[in-house]
Chain A
Amino acid sequence: MNRTFLAVRRRLLQAVPVVFGIVAIIFLLLNLSPGDLVDVMAAEEQISDPQVLEQIRAEYGLDKPIYVQLANYVWNIVHLDLGYSFRHSQPVWDVIVERLPATLILMSVSMALALFIGGLAGVVASIKVNTLYDNLISVVAIIFFAAPSFWIGLMMMVLFSVKLGLLPVSGMYTIGGDYSLAGEIWDVTRHLVMPSFALGLFYAAIYARVMRASMLEVSGLDFIRTARAKGLGEKRVAFKHILRNALLPVVTLFGLQLGTMLAGSVVIESVFSWPGIGTLVFEAVLTRNFPLVMGVLLFGSILVVIANLAVDLVYMRLDPRIELR
């Protein structure tokens, strides 16, 4: 318990400069963007009186030197104030939190699919190493590793929605559908199938390759020979001894890839009109709503930092020898 607490504290302290660096980069991007907050406001609210605009600038501190503005920005973020989205007439924080559940559902289901399919494929390939199964899995994995996820999504759409009519094309709910709880869950599940596979298959391909390599590596170690010498069955050795140890690299990758997966969901969400953070940030980029874009960027980064911390704890659990640096 104490060890866990110390490790968490150390990791949190390490995360502080990283988060500050991200804030600084985002602030720099905001300042590089053409027009400031007040120009956006003026366009949205149709204010044209230059005197009023100057007054608003002074009110928001935009006439102050840049380091004061950065300090203000950090101060606001510490208070969870990410700015205001005039398009939504809501604070950026509220807009993001409203869209968060859809993205979290999509990401967690995709991750689960990727871990399950990739893990299973990797284990099968390693047990049947250098057979037809192994080669087949390698070929499929290398294809999904190379295919753009949005293209996989579109092709699934052609097959399963347009040609076969099995799955809904896009969105998260059917308008005017069944509103009972079970009906709604079934409805969302049907809408979730294609986006989660489109997003997850790329990662499944990576996990399959890493899992195979890692299983093969562990199976050459001494303690596996011991287990076999004890007379344990092959299945027991594979699942109880090899798999447990071979999972470590997959967990590492899982942590490293959460950020890229969040980013990948931008594309998939816009393919399937999934009402999450991805479509939100895409619309924000198109309408040049920079406070919202930067808000999502910051929010996503912090989500990744927290998720990495959680992965580190799982890691400590899986392998007690590991001390967190």
Chain B
Amino acid sequence: MAEANAIAKGKKENKSNSQLMGVWIRLKKNRLAIFGLVILILLILMAIFADILAPYGYDEQNLQNTFQTPNLEHPFGTDEFGRDILSRIIYGSRISLQVGIIAVGIAVIIGGFLGAVAGYFSGKVDNIIMRCMDVLLSIPQMLLAISIVAALGNSLANLMIAVGVSSIPQYARIVRASVISIKNQEFVESAKATGSNDLRIIFKHVIPNCLAPVIVQATLGIGLAILTAAGLSFIGLGIKPPTPEWGAMLSGGRMYIRDYPHLTLFPGIAIVVTIFAFNVLGDGLRDALDPKLKQ
């Protein structure tokens, strides 16, 4: 009997493991997604070990050495203040990843909560929340982010808030849709029958079961958030110099594009590679998590 129980327990553990394993196995088959994952891991390592990896400080000026084209000493060249572009890009990965992850974090937490409440309670609450989301959605995201930064003032924190708040409605919509499809299933009913309260049901049963689309959207969303933040910095509404933000670097290099295009080339490549990695990983996760494609 004890043995049978142990086997049953083992099977149960296996089951939750095997779900994750199944996703991982399907993801592994997607070479492009793995490529994206590898790039992201490298980027994260680059951000963590920026102090060790960067050959120079990000604000180390050398006015005798301005506008150097790429050479052995400065692989990506130097900018108008003689700062090493490679080092600035390496430090810039910290800012970009931070902005992307925190902004999406804000959006997922607030948007997810609103969406879950709207979907779970339906009726009036749903109507009020979703009409508010409709209003937010009818201002193009970039403009909403610009207006928020304009109202709060330029700083790293405000940039993250602006990008995060402007993407709340997307997550609210996604979570609401999956909550609606989940809340009428039997396991939610049985939780209700055993006396769980609404909050417990939402957090313990409903949210974990609608994570898949949120994970996919968040992965793609981090890329989008980095792009929006870079765009804001590019028009001078994001992070101020000398902080090495990729969009701000592009904006600074723009004036010298005729003579020194390397100032704009390398930060741009950094942005494209990062967004690309998040996009292919997000696509891969979507395919791996989609039960329709499981067979």
A and B: interacting chains: no
Give the interface of A toward B (CB within 8 A): none
